[in-house]
Amino acid sequence: MINTYLPTIKNGDSTAFFLMAGPCAIEGEDIALHIAERIVRITDKYSIPFIFKGSYRKANRSRVDSFTGIGDEKALKILEKVGKTFGVPTVTDIHESHEAAMAAAYVDVLQIPAFLCRQTELLVAAAETGKVVNIKKGQFLSAESMQFAVDKVKDAGNQKVILTDRGNTFGYQDLIVDFRGIPAMRNFAVPTVMDCTHSLQQPNQTSGVTGGKPQLIETIAKAAIAVGADGLFIETHPDPANAKSDGANMLHLDLLEGLMEKLIRVREAIL
């Protein structure tokens, strides 16, 4: 399904933005289907193209005792079921090159985590699956330097690339968003997304548990749409306080529809 609207988004002639949303991690089948159903209802209502997001495994954790997943195959099969049940594309992140083919058997989009966006072998392995490749911009990189990540995927024979900004490192325990990066990355002729939740993380806390500022998700999302982002990435959960991963910066699922209504008005105002 993603391939049917990706070219339109890339050419910038769609009145809609697309949404990549879901829980940080796949916690179980029931909650994944519940979250997906809620988001599908909203995105169908407002004609917003939707990609369901969920990590089948969390490889980058501050503490060794942090939740990492329910099992690779089990989580990937849940992602596959979400896609088939609701007729939506799905996205998950991969961390090593050998994971690309495995994940590609279950999902439509392979996501490259920000910390790994310079890993040539990983990018090429993702590209060679033929799936759409969503590359998150490293917190340590300029927007302009992401051209080389795009080139690695395209040189491997895959033209289906998305770039996602998730903020820049600002000191040791905070991030800041430079919105000049959205038009800069759109100049590479690929859909450009703003990650509205990870950009509000407060990493490296003394507790070893990442903090966040979810009250600013709406601010980041509005600004991203205003400067021309093609899509938004939002992690959402019906009970963020008890989510097993990154609950501190997720949007409460009950707030998603109201936010989409506001963003549609912003989008309409700038066109």
Domain harbouring 109, CATH code: 3.20.20.70
Distance spanning both ends of the chain, measured CA to CA: 25
Cβ atoms of residues 51 and 88 within 8 Å: yes
Pairwise CA distance, residues 262 & 73, whole Å: 38
Work out the percent of the chain whose per-residue pLDDT is above 90. 79
39 burial via Cβ count (<10 Å: 0-12, 13-18, 19+) = buried
Which residue range forms the structural domain that includes residue 56? 2-270
* CB neighbour list of residue 189: distance below 8 Å, 6 or more residues apart: 10
Confidence category of residue 186, pLDDT binned at 50, 70, 90: very high
42-51, 52-61, 112-121, 213-222: least confident range: 52-61
pLDDT value at residue 247: 78
| 143: nearest Cα among 212, 224, 211, 201 | 224
Measuring CA to CA, which residue among 195, 267, 261, 259 is closest to residue 226?
Answer: 267
Higher pLDDT, 159 or 9: 159
Name which of 263, 253, 265, 262 is nearest 41 in CA terms: 253
What's the rounded mean pLDDT across residues 87-99? Answer: 96
| Spatial separation of the C-alpha atoms in residues 176 and 139, rounded to whole Å | 9
pLDDT (0 to 100) of residue 249: 86
Write out pLDDT tens, residues 214-265: 899 999 999 999 999 999 999 999 999 998 887 788 999 999 999 999 999 9
CA triplet 15, 17, 22: central angle to 5 degrees?
Answer: 155
What pLDDT is stored for residue 12 in this prediction? 44
- Per the structure, how many domains does the chain have? 1
Question: What's the whole-model pTM score?
Answer: 0.91
All residues at 6 or more sequence positions from 206 whose CB lies less than 8 Å from its CB, including other chains: none
